[in-house]
Amino acid sequence: MQVPEATVYQFSAELLDGTPATLEAFRGTVLLIVNTASECGFTPQYAGLENLYQAYKHRGLVVLGFPCNQFGHQEPGSATEIGAFCEKNYGVTFPMFAKVEVNGEDAHPLYKFLKQNKPGALAFLSGGKIRWNFTKFLVDRNGRVVARFGSTTAPKSIAPHIEKLL
């Protein structure tokens, strides 16, 4: 008997409004999973992420935002405040989840899985830890993590990688 390959579809999380959501709902799409923050120097990337989502959603891309307050306490707001900020300032329409931790013992299981599958550059030094807000993981239509991009990677530069998966 063959053991099924682990994918992102085995995970679930709450949306900003508290509704439980399973990543199984996104089966068959290409996912760009991002840890976000509202008070970060990289916060303007919300606009680029929304642009990617609008450009490719009809072809099967879904961007998933996971607010995180672990880096410089740059996501201090409540779920309602985060949602209002994203919508008002960047017109975010892609799914946003409730705040999670991405590193440490209390890291969300999805993020433990993402880091295990794509530990990133210099993983031997960092143990695969996420270094800052707006780290991006690209997941193919089969739920496999295929790439990891750091905070400084502009969303538009990920477009060629997305194109290959669509």
Determine what percent of the chain is predicted with pLDDT higher than 70: 92
- The token pair that represents 120 in the structure block: 């990133």
- The model carries a pTM of 0.93
- pLDDT value of residue 90: 96
Instruction: Indicate whether 2 pLDDT > 90.
Output: no
40 is catalytic: yes
Give the pLDDT mean for 126-137.
86
Whether the per-residue pLDDT at 121 is higher than 70: the answer is no
Look at domain 31-165 and name its CATH class: alpha beta
Q: Domain residue spans in the chain? A: 31-165
- Contact between 16 and 82 (Cβ < 8 Å): yes
From the list 56, 45, 31, the residue with the least C-alpha distance to 118 is 31
Phi/psi-derived region of residue 143, left when phi > 0, alpha when psi is between -120 and 50, beta in every other case: left
Given 40, 82, 107, 114, the catalytic residue: 40
Answer for the pair 16, 97: CB distance below 8 angstroms, yes or no.
yes
Strands 30-36 and 61-67: parallel
